[in-house]
């Protein structure tokens, strides 16, 4: 069995980081991410993978299994980076063979070796959570096993609503108040424990069901952050305590049919009227809109479209509950709101809607920040979604973990040519790579949570989402493949994991936009100025 060498692993990470930095400089010299988009996308993903590997180094020092997982993952990252570079070194600004140094090549060769990975097998390693977070993990895992896993497949196949007992059960556990400060009836402390607790809880709920579990606590997270950033004290007192108790639930209405990640161009408007505003326009991909009693709505309050994002404001729109088949509501003043469900291949239970507003009245006091909030909607939305990226990564880890556990169990029991497929080297390597990827993603999410608790980590939050969500597609695909024909059958949960994972790189910031507009741009901004 190979002997792990964390010094060599750290050196390989340094080498990879230097290559990425060269790529960032080349990107700047090529005119930036808007010009050299392919380079920007590849550099952003490479940087995200390298930072994930770097975040695993401390984990590797905690034991032999941890060290093996770390070495295997670092080698995987170097191999993927080499594939991005080969034949394109000039565009990255590096010499051919930049990764061919004997120390790096020998390290990668050893830890990408099939026998070495097969020896790792289905070893996913300990998480190293402290006692409080282990309790959080156990509590939410038990709920996921007993309440979510038993109904998840039924919800998925029949596109049903999330059962009320799931929502009430999460409310009783305080799941909707994890990020709401204690002074508003929640459990948020503003410190590291709040962020780590949210990540742990989200992973476990998503392991039970992405659509009926992990994503349920994302929406209050987003609205809470926005209200804390720009809401008045009266608004915080009005909504946050009831949200923390699960008495009212919310949805997010930002995206429009023609404007997704480029929200600065949205067209839905709010115009002043006696006592408030009249909202007109269309929002789409508004998840959970029927069941929610509140909508976090981003609209244009300044008719001058040249002001782009500076003309946007945020409202909290109160509404009656609807159901998964759609809804039509009136405001009693001639205004109308209609929600049309959008059928999707996965991520069912919450349902996504296209919502049309026709002169829908919103009281003056529902403008977040009141007059001080005019024109600040874009920034409040960004504050809400910033932590949503970390939470989405945690959701991806949960889906991956569920898929991995299903594949491991199936491989142990499925006999082909006289032996369980878990005995075959190819299956062992697949499971090892899956386990290594999941643990790396999980540990990096912990690192990012710690940084965000200090008011840092915005770039890393984008990176962890970019890397982990794309990895989830591969992990769930491999888990499905291990199941063979049964992986394609709806009677096995693994098919649901596969279609659920596909949405992760789309929502909360599409992968391409996240890489080009956030990660690559920030990496270039962090460079020292080019010499005159």
Instruction: Point out the residues that are catalytic.
Output: 508
In a 3-state reduction of DSSP, which class is residue 262?
Answer: coil
Q: Report whether 435 contacts 403 (CB < 8 A).
A: no
**At which residue do the structure tokens 């010299």 appear?**
29
Closest CA to 116 of 108, 126, 125: 108
Whole-number Å distance between alpha carbons of 276 and 253: 19
Closest CA to 476 of 449, 446, 441: 441
In a 3-state reduction of DSSP, which class is residue 357?
Answer: strand
Instruction: Name the strand (E) or helix (H) holding 319.
Output: none
Whole-number Å distance between alpha carbons of 314 and 374: 8
**At which residue do the structure tokens 């997982």 appear?**
69
Whole-number Å distance between alpha carbons of 185 and 208: 27
Closest CA to 508 of 400, 387, 334, 421: 387
C-alpha Rg value of the chain to the nearest Å: 24
Q: Report whether 392 contacts 106 (CB < 8 A).
A: no
Whole-number Å distance between alpha carbons of 492 and 359: 46
Whole-number Å distance between alpha carbons of 435 and 403: 10
Whole-number Å distance between alpha carbons of 199 and 444: 11
3-state helix, strand, coil in the chain (%, to 5): 60, 15, 25
């Amino acid at each position: 069995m190979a002997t792990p060498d964390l010094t060599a692993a750290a050196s390989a990470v340094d080498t990879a980081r230097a290559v990425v930095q060269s790529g960032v400089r080349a990107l700047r010299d090529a005119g930036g991410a808007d010009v050299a988009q392919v380079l920007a996308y590849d550099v952003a993903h490479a940087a995200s993978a390298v930072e994930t590997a770097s975040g695993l180094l401390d984990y590797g020092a905690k034991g032999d299994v941890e060290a093996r997982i770390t070495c295997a993952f670092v080698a995987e990252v170097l191999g993927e980076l080499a594939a991005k570079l080969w034949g394109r070194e000039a565009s990255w600004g590096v010499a051919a063979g930049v990764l061919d140094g004997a120390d790096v090549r020998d390290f990668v060769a050893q830890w990408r070796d099939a026998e070495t990975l097969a020896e790792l097998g289905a070893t996913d390693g300990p998480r190293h959570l402290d006692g409080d977070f282990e309790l959080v993990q156990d509590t939410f895992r038990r709920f996921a096993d007993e309440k979510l896993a038993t109904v998840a497949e039924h919800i998925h196949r029949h596109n049903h609503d999330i059962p009320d007992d799931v929502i009430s059960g999460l409310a009783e556990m305080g799941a909707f108040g994890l990020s709401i400060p204690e002074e508003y009836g929640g459990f948020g402390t503003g410190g590291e424990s709040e962020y780590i607790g949210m990540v742990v809880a989200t992973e476990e709920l998503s392991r039970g069901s992405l659509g009926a579990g992990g994503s349920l606590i994302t929406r209050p997270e987003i609205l809470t952050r926005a209200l804390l950033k720009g809401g008045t004290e009266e608004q915080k007192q009005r909504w946050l305590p009831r949200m923390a108790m699960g008495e009212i639930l919310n949805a997010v209405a930002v995206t429009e049919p023609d404007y997704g990640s480029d929200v600065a161009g949205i067209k839905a408007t709010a115009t002043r009227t006696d006592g408030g505003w009249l909202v007109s326009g269309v929002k789409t991909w508004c998840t959970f809109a029927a069941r929610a009693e509140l909508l976090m709505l981003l609209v244009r309050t300044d008719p001058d479209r040249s002001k782009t994002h500076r003309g946007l404001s945020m409202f909290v729109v109160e509404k009656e509950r609807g159901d998964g088949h759609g809804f039509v509501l009136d405001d009693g003043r001639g205004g109308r709101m209609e929600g049309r469900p959008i059928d999707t291949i996965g991520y069912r239970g919450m349902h996504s809607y296209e919502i049309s507003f026709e002169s829908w009245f919103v009281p003056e006091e529902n403008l977040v920040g009141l007059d001080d909030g005019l024109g600040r909607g874009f920034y409040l939305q960004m504050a809400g979604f910033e932590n949503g990226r970390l939470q989405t990564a945690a959701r991806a880890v949960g889906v991956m973990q569920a898929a991995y556990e299903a594949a491991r169990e199936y491989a142990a029991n499925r006999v082909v040519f006289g032996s369980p497929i878990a005995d075959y080297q190819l299956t062992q390597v697949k499971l090892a790579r899956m386990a290594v990827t999941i643990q790396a993603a999980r540990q990096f999410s912990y690192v990012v949570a710690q940084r965000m608790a200090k008011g840092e980590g915005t770039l890393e939050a984008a990176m962890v989402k970019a890397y982990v969500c794309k990895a989830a597609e591969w992990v769930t695909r491999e888990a499905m493949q291990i199941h063979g024909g049964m992986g394609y059958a709806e009677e096995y949960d693994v098919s649901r994991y596969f279609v659920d994972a596909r949405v992760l790189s789309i929502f909360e910031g599409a992968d391409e936009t996240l890489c080009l507009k956030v990660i690559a741009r920030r990496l270039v901004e962090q460079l020292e100025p080019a010499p005159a």
